């Protein structure tokens, strides 16, 4: 089963919006064992949409069109599909009523153009809308109607809902494949991509002779370095069994470098480690300016662990609020004092501090990229110095995961 994706929207072509919908679809299709052929962006133009449909269906068994289903004059996907199928667009009274009810229930007047969304190419099957006003479409096409064009709205949560609820199951059914594909992502921190590769040389060689699962690396900035295992088997249970075996082998080689699985983040993992041990955390941030606190508090429930942060961007604030002594503020001593000060002032069990140089210029005779991390808590009192790559924002982001990774290691070791 080969699928291509056609993203419709002049704003995509002009780069005013980045097309992340297609990437999400590609990932979802792959996870269900469906091959992606190409993904195309095209502007709001009936002729070009039709032309692309024709070309894509030369090679693909199915095309998913995303976008152009809204109520305004530049939403042209319905018309393009109808012309491509050579059928008229007809008004669907049921859809019309659903849209009218939606406005009514919100107590809002319905602009008439919303009813454009209730027109459907003859012969198309409607994918009922559950979140927005525009329904999706399933349109049989080709000589024996064996091929298919799906249409979904460009609004991400509406698109995702229709993909998962209707389109993926329909594609899996059509593909008549008995294979299931399941991926598992191990998240690592503390080793470069080539370093991980080297450690996993033996595992990769074994995997290549076995054929499944496959293994791939994906560097993801302050999300860490991902190791993705993808298994193909006749059932989800069998995939899971494969993944369990190789997950264990990978961890056998990487040990503590693996900090989480799937949607885990370094923030959520550190918060959970603290929570389990009943420890609270206080931060002293200089170079990161609040970024560590911002990341930790993006996790719901962070308040169980994080008491707060003192962002001491100036030397006087470091001295007054964190009891840092006179001397250079990008230094081991300052990092140690900041961590102790945060612990004390915020009444936390653990103090974590970051001081360093994000650039654009040197500071206190320290090069851009220098980071000191101070950590104090029950059974530990340490300062680590590292040199991080990247320009200002990248350095600051890497500082966040670096510092939290150090805290995680201490919590595991002590």
Of 195, 347, 365, 378, the residue at the interface with a second copy (CB under 8 A) is 347
216 binds a second copy (CB under 8 A): yes
List C-alpha distances in Å: 256 to 185, 186, 253: 15, 11, 9
The Cα angle at residue 156 between residues 155 and 159, in degrees rounded to 5: 85
Q: How far is the CB of 123 from a second copy (least distance, A)?
A: 27
Stretch that binds a second copy, among 240-248, 253-261, 342-350, 372-380 (CB under 8 A): 342-350
Of 32, 100, 345, 384, the residue at the interface with a second copy (CB under 8 A) is 345
Q: How far apart are CA 335 and CA 283, in angstroms?
A: 11
Size of the site for a second copy (CB under 8 A): 70
384 binds a second copy (CB under 8 A): no
Three-state secondary structure call for residue 78: helix
Q: How far apart are CA 171 and CA 163, in angstroms?
A: 10
Q: Are 388 and 399 in contact (CB under 8 A)?
A: yes
Of 104, 200, 237, 308, the residue at the interface with a second copy (CB under 8 A) is 308
72 binds a second copy (CB under 8 A): no
311 binds a second copy (CB under 8 A): yes
Burial class (CB in 10 A: 0-12, 13-18, 19+), 90: middle
279 binds a second copy (CB under 8 A): no
Of 257, 296, 357, 373, the residue at the interface with a second copy (CB under 8 A) is 296
Q: How far is the CB of 150 from a second copy (least distance, A)?
A: 17
Q: Are 212 and 242 in contact (CB under 8 A)?
A: yes
Interacting positions 137-196 with a second copy (CB under 8 A): none
288 binds a second copy (CB under 8 A): yes
Stretch that binds a second copy, among 52-60, 100-108, 196-204, 403-411 (CB under 8 A): 52-60
Q: If you ran DSSP here, which 8-state letter would residue 138 be given?
A: E
48 binds a second copy (CB under 8 A): yes
Question: Taking the CA of residue 1 as centre, how many other CA atoms within 13 Å lie in the half-sphere pointing to its CB?
Answer: 22
Of 14, 236, 241, 367, the residue at the interface with a second copy (CB under 8 A) is 14
412: tokens are: 């595991």
Give the pairing of strands 350-356 and 125-127: unpaired
CA end-to-end span of the chain, whole Å?
Answer: 52
Of 1, 32, 36, 71, the residue at the interface with a second copy (CB under 8 A) is 36
294 binds a second copy (CB under 8 A): yes
């Amino acid at each position: 089963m080969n699928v291509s994706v056609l993203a419709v929207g002049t704003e995509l072509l002009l780069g005013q919006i980045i097309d992340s919908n297609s990437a999400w679809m590609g990932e979802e299709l792959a996870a269900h064992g469906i091959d992606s052929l190409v993904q195309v962006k095209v502007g709001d133009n009936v002729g070009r949409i039709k032309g692309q449909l024709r070309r894509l269906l030369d090679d693909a068994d199915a095309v998913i069109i995303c976008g152009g289903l809204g109520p305004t004059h530049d939403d042209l996907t319905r018309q393009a599909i109808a012309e491509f199928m050579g059928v008229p667009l007809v008004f669907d009274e049921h859809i019309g009523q659903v849209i009218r009810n939606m406005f009514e229930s919100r107590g809002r007047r319905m602009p008439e153009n919303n009813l454009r969304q209730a027109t459907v190419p003859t012969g198309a099957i409607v994918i009922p809308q559950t979140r927005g006003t525009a329904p999706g479409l399933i349109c049989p096409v080709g000589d024996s109607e064996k091929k298919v064009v799906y249409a979904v709205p460009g609004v991400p949560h509406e698109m995702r809902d229709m993909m998962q609820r209707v389109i993926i199951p329909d594609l899996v059914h059509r593909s008549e494949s008995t294979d299931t594909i399941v991926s598992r992502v191990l998240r690592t921190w503390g080793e470069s991509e080539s370093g991980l590769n080297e450690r996993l040389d033996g595992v990769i060689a074994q995997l290549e002779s076995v054929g499944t699962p496959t293994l791939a690396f994906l560097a993801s900035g302050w999300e860490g370095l991902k190791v993705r295992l993808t298994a193909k088997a006749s059932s989800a249970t069998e995939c899971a069994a494969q993944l369990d075996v190789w997950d264990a082998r990978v961890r056998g080689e990487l040990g503590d470098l693996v900090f989480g699985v799937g949607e885990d983040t370094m923030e959520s993992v550190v918060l959970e480690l603290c929570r389990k041990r009943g420890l609270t955390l206080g931060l002293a941030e200089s170079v990161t300016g609040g970024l560590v606190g911002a990341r930790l508090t993006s996790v719901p429930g962070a308040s169980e662990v994080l008491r707060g942060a003192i962002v001491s961007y100036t030397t006087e604030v470091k001295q007054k609020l964190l009891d840092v002594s006179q001397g250079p503020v990008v230094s081991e001593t300052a990092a140690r004092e900041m961590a102790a000060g945060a612990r004390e002032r915020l009444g936390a069990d653990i103090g974590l501090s970051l001081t360093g140089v994000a650039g654009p210029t040197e500071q206190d005779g320290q090069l851009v990229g220098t980071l000191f991390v101070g950590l104090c808590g029950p059974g530990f009192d340490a300062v680590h110095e590292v040199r991080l790559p990247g320009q200002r924002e990248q350095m600051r982001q890497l500082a966040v995961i670096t510092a939290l990774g150090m805290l995680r290691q201490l919590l595991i070791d002590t």
